[in-house]
């Protein structure tokens, strides 16, 4: 007996809202989105939301200026252009203490030569400290640490002038491009070198002296309290004195932690207390297990028996 094919039920047609109904939904949505509320996003909007692309372009051009531009005619064109664009960016944030954009730009521009001098010393330290470097140009154009440090030094000067939001946007741009996270509030001395650099974190209240070298994966961080907001503005990050070398994977935490000058911190060390000058700190070496293969391994290569 032949079976009759099952009849397929036509899919139910979705009801299409009437034009008046759709218009009412649109108006209700717009009203809800535009309602003033005392939430975090509304507060953020009131503080100013600078255009990310504009901030990024400005700091990249300023970086190029201090790193590579020394021709007077080029500077005559570029410096006024950057000053005008900085005025515009300052107008997009809420300046504190009655600061005027024109006064801030007038205070920032004379700091550019000092930024350039600091970066020159940083490049010199990189050349002296990295035997893989074949020349100064290679360091300037290809080392991610120089890019991150250059943007930090520009952002730090704006941070010192009391500028909100913009300095942090600049260093977070460098973080995204290089994997090196330096808060613009940190204080870093001359001849600073980060070798490789990926995964380095330097917190807001860190203080770093002269001739300090870090390797990848170093964290200068804060202990994590339950009520972190109560410590806003308090020193929470370590102090690294002059001539210190910190190898890969080191974590140093706490605002009272001081690494004394000329110290060497070995890889993968965890520190939450100070060490005196001239210290050498290493992690406890791993216990090594020497394994020997059993005699029948050559006959049965897929069945390994180990004597430990």
| pLDDT score at 97 | 76
Give the CATH class of 50-179. Answer: mainly alpha
User: What are 70-99's pLDDT values in tens digits?
Assistant: 899 999 999 999 999 999 999 999 888 778
Best CA proximity match to 151, nearest among 115, 101, 108, 198? 115
Superfamily classification of domain 186-308: Hexapeptide repeat proteins (2.160.10.10)
- The torsion angles phi and psi of 240, rounded to 5 degrees, stand at -115, 115
174 neighbors 63 (Cβ within 8 angstroms): no
Give 258's pLDDT tier (boundaries 50, 70, 90): very high
CA distance 219 to 217: 6
User: What are 167-197's pLDDT values in tens digits?
Assistant: 999 999 999 999 999 999 999 999 999 999 9
What is the average pLDDT value for the chain, to the nearest integer?
A: 90
Give 308's pLDDT tier (boundaries 50, 70, 90): very low
- What number of other Cβ atoms are within 10 A of residue 147's Cβ? 20
| pLDDT score at 233 | 79
User: What are 119-140's pLDDT values in tens digits?
Assistant: 999 999 999 999 999 999 999 9
Give 31's pLDDT tier (boundaries 50, 70, 90): confident
Same fold, 50-179 and 186-308: no
Residue 182: burial class (beta carbons within 10 Å; 0-12, 13-18, 19+): buried
| pLDDT score at 179 | 97
CA distance 217 to 179: 10
CA distance 141 to 121: 16
User: What are 196-232's pLDDT values in tens digits?
Assistant: 999 999 999 999 999 999 999 999 999 876 666 777 8
- Helices 52-68 & 166-178 angle (0-180, nearest 10): 70
User: What are 238-253's pLDDT values in tens digits?
Assistant: 999 999 999 999 999 9
What pTM did the predictor assign? 0.85
Structural domain spans, the chain:
50-179, 186-308
| pLDDT score at 78 | 96
């Amino acid at each position: 007996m032949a079976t009759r094919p099952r009849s397929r039920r036509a899919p139910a047609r979705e009801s299409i809202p009437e034009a008046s109904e759709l218009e009412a939904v649109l108006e209700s949505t717009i009203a809800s989105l535009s309602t003033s509320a005392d939430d975090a996003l509304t507060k953020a909007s009131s503080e100013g939301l600078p255009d990310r692309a504009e901030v990024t372009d400005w700091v990249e051009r300023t970086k190029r200026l201090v790193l590579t531009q020394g021709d007077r005619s080029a500077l005559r064109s570029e410096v006024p252009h950057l000053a005008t664009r900085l005025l515009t960016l300052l107008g997009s944030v809420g300046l504190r203490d009655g600061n005027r954009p024109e006064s801030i730009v007038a205070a920032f521009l004379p700091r550019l030569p000092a930024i350039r001098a600091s970066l020159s010393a940083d490049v010199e330290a990189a050349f002296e400290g990295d035997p893989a470097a074949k020349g100064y140009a290679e360091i300037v154009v290809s080392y991610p640490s120089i890019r991150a440090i250059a943007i930090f030094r520009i952002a730090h000067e704006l941070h010192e002038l009391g500028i909100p939001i913009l300095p942090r946007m600049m260093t977070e741009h460098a973080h995204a491009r290089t994997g090196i996270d330096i808060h613009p509030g940190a204080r870093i001395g001359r001849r600073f070198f980060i070798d490789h650099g990926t995964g380095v974190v330097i917190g807001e209240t860190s203080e770093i002296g002269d001739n300090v070298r870090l390797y990848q994966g170093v964290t200068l961080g804060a202990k994590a309290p339950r009520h972190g907001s109560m410590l806003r503005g308090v020193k929470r990050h370590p102090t690294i004195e002059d001539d210190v070398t910190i190898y890969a994977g080191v974590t140093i935490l706490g605002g009272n932690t001081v690494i004394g000058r000329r110290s060497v911190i070995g890889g993968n060390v965890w520190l939450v207390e100070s060490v005196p000058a001239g210290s050498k700190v290493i992690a406890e070496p791993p216990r090594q297990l020497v394994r020997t293969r059993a005699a029948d391994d050559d006959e049965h290569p897929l069945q390994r028996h180990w004597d430990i």
